[in-house]
Structure 1
Amino acid sequence: MSAMLVTAAALIWLTGLAHSVLGERYLLMRLFRREEVLPRLLGSTAFTAGTLRFVWHLLTVVWWGLAYVVLSLGNGPLSRDHLLLAIGVTALVSAVFPLYFTRGKHLSWVALLAVGSLLLASRTAAP
């Protein structure tokens, strides 16, 4: 396995981790303390805060999925099924975020769940 690919994948993964941890601590928490700057959607700022939080952390999940793909390339060319698996799992994990952070009110979870399911199901179907 190429040391360059391993290093790149590790840096992508660590960047995602730093983005979530530092963004939560130094940006989101401070922003959410100032409710007067958040728009009231669906009757409160809770939906707005939940949406901002899940989108912020969703980027980390996508970066981690990309890190997995880069790391997998170290074992040779990726097959169609392997790439569909990586993207499908990333989409399914991503679907959890709007479900959790907005209690399902942000309907992106429906699309993400459908995408993940379709990609995983297509692995067994003919191309």
Structure 2
Amino acid sequence: MALLLYLAATLLVLVSLAHSYLGERFILMRLFKRDNLPQLFGSSDFTIRTLRFAWHLTSIAWLGFAALLIALASPGFTPATLLHITALTFALHSLLALGLSKGRHWSWILFAVVSVLLVVAAI
């Protein structure tokens, strides 16, 4: 079973990297060149930043799932391990949303709270 979990995790890592790179290069960049994007908060900048972090959140989530599968395949797997990996995944979500939206998209607060709650739950 462990080999299958490692294989699945490897595929998730690969698809995550491909999703971020190819999506940025062939979808997002072309989309952002359009002149008819919605202008939220006075410009299309917020829209572009929101679309960019939302796109890459998917890749981070897949990396988190990969880490969970690797942990599940490990002999020392515990529920606390699951909580720590999930907390880290949401901490990364929070940082990405905070950074790319310059703090204007408040999802970073929710993701940070989820991360902290999971760390506390693991204690």
TM over 0.5: yes
TM-score computed with the length of structure 1 as normaliser: 0.92
Q: Unaligned 5+ residue runs, structure 2? A: none
Structure-2 separation of matches of 1:6 and 1:80: 19
CA deviation map 1:25-55 (0-9, x unaligned):
000000001132x100000000000000000
Structure-1 separation of matches of 2:58 and 2:99: 16
Moved over 6 A (4+): none
Aligned length: 123
User: Counterpart amino acid of 1:51?
Assistant: T
CA deviation map 1:39-78 (0-9, x unaligned):
0000000000000000000000000000001111111473
Query: Residue 113 of structure 2 corresponds to which residue in structure 1?
Result: 114
Percent identical: 40
Query: Residue 69 of structure 1 corresponds to which residue in structure 2?
Result: 68
TM-score computed with the length of structure 2 as normaliser: 0.95
Q: Unaligned 5+ residue runs, structure 1? A: none
Aligned-CA RMSD value: 1.3
Structure-2 separation of matches of 1:101 and 1:50: 6
Please say if residues 49 and 101 of structure 2, whose CA atoms lie closer than 8 Å, have aligned partners that are also in contact.
yes
Map 1:18-97; keep pairs closer than 5 Å: 18-36=18-36, 38-76=37-75, 78-97=77-96
